[in-house]
């Protein structure tokens, strides 16, 4: 039986590369993205392009319902669409906070609500949620973005327990720094959205060392390989840390006293 997958954020980065790998393995893949021109190109390697902004819950449900009606099933949902904005808690506007939650949290919710009824009906399925190392580690400049990823880690943990006996697996993929289009968007507010001068020292430092990590980071391949394992392994794990920096930061965050961690981050910022 040919397996059917629906991947959001499917026109770039992790979503695009995973779509290519699964299509090459014989899957029917619906690659969804709000960039209509970019997602149309996925047809070239055999995916089915879907223009979709996941922040519109009604259109998200309609898109997934259409897949189910046509294919009769859905075996994989990859909730990968989202974006990052790096800024201080105070300097990120209320509108920007709402926008990042709309995509990173409520967009994932809309996808899950649309796919789960069919997965429950067929007693099988997999849900992959792209989180981040900052689902564990919240640092200066990452507060609101990290909050969205903490939220999805919590949801994934609960959902995994709720649906396991129904034959449905839930996994989170935890990228660290990686060379995709994400960084260009995420650093925009650090560079152009500054309004409170009292944060200048710490935010210049965050921009410097975090930007440095992105510059030396690998491409998306390691993350995509983890996603592929989660999608195809007979017994997928609940969490897939994608690279060394994810594992290292998780160890530091969970073992180091908060006072020491704060001092370390501020020391990095002032170097």
What is the C-alpha to C-alpha distance for residues 162 and 233, in angstroms, rounded to an integer?
20
Mean pLDDT of 157-172: 97
Joined together, the tokens standing for residue 181 give: 């289009």
Query: How many other C-beta atoms lie within 10 A of the C-beta of residue 208?
Result: 12
Render pLDDT for 190-217 as a digit per residue (tens, 0 to 9). Answer: 666 677 888 887 777 777 766 656 555 5
> 4-270, superfamily in CATH?
NAD(P)-binding Rossmann-like Domain (3.40.50.720)
pLDDT per residue over 103-113, tens digit each?
999 999 999 99
Contact 124, 15 (CB under 8 A): no
Least confident interval from 135-139, 166-170, 192-196: 192-196
Structure tokens at 264: 């370390």
Name the residue ranges covered by the structural domains of the chain.
4-270
Beta bridge partners of 152: none
Residue 134 contacts residue 149 (beta carbons within 8 Å):
yes
Question: CA-to-CA distance for 134 and 100, rounded, in angstroms?
Answer: 14
């Amino acid at each position: 039986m040919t397996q059917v997958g629906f991947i959001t954020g499917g026109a770039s980065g992790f979503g695009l590369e995973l779509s290519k790998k699964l299509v090459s393995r014989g899957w029917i893949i619906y690659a969804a993205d709000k960039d209509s021109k970019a997602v149309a190109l996925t047809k070239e390697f055999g995916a089915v392009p879907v223009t979709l902004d996941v922040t519109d819950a009604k259109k998200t449900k309609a898109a997934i319902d259409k897949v189910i009606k046509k294919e009769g099933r859905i075996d994989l949902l990859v909730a990968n669409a989202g974006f990052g904005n790096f800024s201080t808690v105070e300097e990120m506007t209320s509108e920007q906070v709402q926008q990042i939650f709309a995509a990173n949290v409520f967009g994932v919710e809309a996808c899950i609500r649309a796919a789960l009824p069919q997965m429950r009906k067929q007693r099988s399925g997999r849900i992959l949620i792209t989180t981040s190392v900052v689902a564990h580690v919240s640092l200066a400049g990452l507060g609101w973005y990290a909050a969205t990823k903490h939220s999805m880690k919590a949801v994934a943990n609960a959902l995994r327990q709720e649906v396991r006996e129904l034959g449905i697996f839930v996994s989170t993929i935890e990228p660290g720094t990686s060379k995709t289009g994400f960084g260009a968007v995420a650093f925009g507010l650090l560079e152009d959205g500054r309004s409170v001068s009292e944060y200048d020292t710490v935010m210049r430092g965050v921009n410097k060392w975090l930007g440095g990590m992105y510059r030396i980071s690998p491409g998306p391949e390691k993350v995509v390989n983890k996603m592929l394992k989660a999608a195809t392994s007979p017994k997928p794990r609940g969490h897939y840390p994608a690279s060394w920096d994810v594992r290292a930061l998780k160890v530091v965050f969970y073992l180091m006293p908060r006072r020491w961690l704060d001092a370390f981050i501020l020391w990095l910022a002032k170097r």
